[in-house]
Amino acid sequence: MKAQQHALVLGGLGVIGRNLVEHLASRPDWRVTAVSRRQPDFATPANFISVDLTDADATSRAFRELRDVTHVFFAAYQEQADSTRQVSVNLSMLVNAIRAIDAASDVLQRVILYQGAKYYGAHLGRFTTPARENDSRHMPPNFYYDQQDWLLATAAGRPWEAVILRPDVVCGFAVGNPMNLAMVIAVYASISKRLGLPLRFPGSAVCYGKLAQVTDAGQLAAGSLWAAEHAQAGEAYNLTNGDLFRWQQLWESFARYFRMELAEPQRLRLGEQMADKAPVWDELTRENHLLEIPYAKVASWAFGDFIFGCDWDVISSTTKIRQAGFHPVVDSETMFLRLFEEFRQRRVIP
């Protein structure tokens, strides 16, 4: 019988971490310890601990008893308005976590680090597509670069290995994690419907017709398990659903799901236009007996503005990971509709 592995998941209640925790904890050959600032809102056999990863001493104390961790999945992230501060904070969390668990566990085998299409400059404007793992970097700062360079250099001198996964726009179920595009769309549609409005794509007309991609959190969890057991050490792999779409193809399907009229795109600054909609959301929550999630935590309108303002194709090549042995593909339209229904069944949206 295969020996049981012990996973340490950093960022255990984010959209990546929560789904990974559930995926691994459901398997008899894995035991899970997760790190999160909050306690889980769902039943799980995973052990959750809370620690500030920017505090090296606190992290060392929290991990001291984790002597049999075999795999680390680093999905922790802190948004910072200043790019230099974003580098320092997110690098310090990785450094503190890996140093602490390396000191605690002498059976550590592999560290999985999550990045995204921002590695290729997707947040800056048009970039070479389909983006490949060995593409040139853009002008820094970019905290992905600092984290990757430190991790690979550190792994080179240790008995454990490192693997990099690069998903893009991860979508899944996670309560209180606003950086989830599926929730942005679902909440925006629900509020629009409540106000008697048609469903409009809130981004630019150009973005409406550009090619886009997303990553199902379940697909990423399966790919993470593959990366832990089969990926080549020291390598980076793009991991998306494996399909491409244009928002104009999906928005009609979204309108049908929410039983709304579809109208032409209208460029909105969601961060501004949705700022005063908390009372509307509170009404929807009360009347439909939804989970009471603070409006500020239910959806990140700034994230929606970023995604729906990309007037360029966003495409990552998944050839490398498929050739390496990870083959699943997810239909993105089906994924969104499944998530909307899951949000509804879990009383997150009306």
Q: Residue 24: its pLDDT value, please?
A: 98
The answer to whether position 66 is within a domain reads: yes
With a cut of 70, say whether residue 1 has pLDDT above it.
no
Least confident range from 138-142, 179-183, 195-199: namely: 179-183
On average, the pLDDT of the chain sits at 96
Instruction: Give the number of other Cβ atoms within 10 Å of residue 57's Cβ.
Output: 10
Tell me the percentage of the chain whose pLDDT exceeds 90: 95
Query: Does residue 280 fall inside a structural domain?
Result: yes
| Chain centroid, CA 100 distance in Å | 24
Asked if 148 contacts 115 with a C-beta cutoff of 8 angstroms, the reply is yes
Q: Give me the number of domains the chain comprises.
A: 2
Residues 49 and 117 in one domain: yes
The Cβ of residue 258 has, within 10 Å, a number of other Cβ atoms equal to 18
CB atoms within 10 A of CB 175: 19
Q: Are residues 30 and 157 in the same domain?
A: yes
Residue 110 CA neighbour count, 13 Å, CB half = 21
Residues 269, 334, single domain; the answer is yes
- pLDDT band at 265, cuts 50/70/90? very high
B/e letters for 232-250, b = 16+ CB within 10 Å, e = fewer, are: eeebbbbbbbbebbebeeb
73, exposed or middle or buried, with CB in 10 Å at 0-12, 13-18, 19+? buried
What are 34-73's pLDDT values in tens digits? 999 888 888 899 999 999 999 999 999 999 999 999 999 9
Q: Based on the fold, state whether residues 43 and 174 are members of the same structural domain.
A: no
Predicted confidence (pLDDT) at residue 343 exceeds the cutoff of 60: yes
Say what the pLDDT of residue 244 is.
98
Query: Is residue 139 in some structural domain?
Result: yes
- Same domain for 114 and 174? no
- Residue 255 and residue 156 in one domain: no
Please name which of 294, 287, 332, 289 lies closest in space to residue 182, comparing C-alpha atoms. Answer: 332
In angstroms, the CA 46 to CA 33 distance is 6
Give yes or no for residue 2 having a pLDDT over 80: no
| 315 inside domain | yes
In this prediction, residue 320 carries a pLDDT of 98
Residue 269 belongs to domain spanning: 170-214+244-345
pLDDT digits (tens, 9 = 90+) for 90-139: 999 999 999 999 999 999 999 999 999 999 999 999 999 999 999 999 99
Whether 253 shows a pLDDT value over 60: the answer reads: yes
181 shares its domain with 230: no
pLDDT at 13: 94
Q: What is the pLDDT of residue 94?
A: 98
Whether residue 350 lies inside any domain: the answer is no
What tokens were used for 328? 């699943």
In a 13 Å sphere around the CA of 85, the CA atoms on its Cβ side amount to 5
What would the pLDDT profile of 137-178 be if each residue is shown by its tens digit? 999 999 999 999 999 999 999 999 999 999 999 999 988 787
- pLDDT more than 70, % of the chain: 100
Q: Is the peptide bond before 141 cis (omega within 30 degrees of 0)?
A: yes
CA distances 197 to 111, 249, 258, Å, are: 47, 20, 12
Q: Tell whether 41 and 88 lie within a shared domain.
A: yes
Phi-psi sector, 56: left (phi>0), alpha (psi -120 to 50), beta: alpha
Same domain assignment for residues 157 and 135: yes
CA atoms of 344 and 289, how far apart (whole Å): 11
Whether residues 207 and 157 fall in one domain: no
Nearest to 175 by CA among 2, 6, 15, 295: 15
In sequence order, what are the residues at sequence separation of 6 or more whose Cβ sits closer than 8 angstroms to the Cβ of residue 216? 170, 171, 172, 241, 330, 332, 335
pLDDT at 345 over 60: yes
Beta strands in 186-301 (DSSP E): 211-212, 215-216, 236-238, 245-246
- Residue matched to tokens 């700022």: 275
The CATH number that applies at residue 148 is 3.40.50.720
Same structural domain, 135 and 187: no
List the one residue out of 43, 55, 1 whose CA is nearest residue 18: 43
SS3 label, residue 307: helix
122 vs 131: CA distance, rounded Å: 10
Is the domain of 23 the same as that of 157? yes
Task: Tell me if 48 is assigned to some domain.
Answer: yes
Taking residues 172-195, report their average pLDDT.
Answer: 93
- The answer for residues whose C-beta is within 8 angstroms of residue 234's C-beta and 6 or more apart is 152, 155, 161, 162, 163
Report CA torsion sign: 38, 191, 125, 250: positive
Last residue of a domain, one of 182, 206, 238: 238
Residue 51 lies in a domain: yes
> Rounded to an integer, what distance in angstroms lies between the CA atom of residue 324 and that of residue 294?
42
In a domain, 201, yes or no: yes
Query: What's the pLDDT score for residue 121?
Result: 97
Output the six-digit token pair for 337.
């509709």
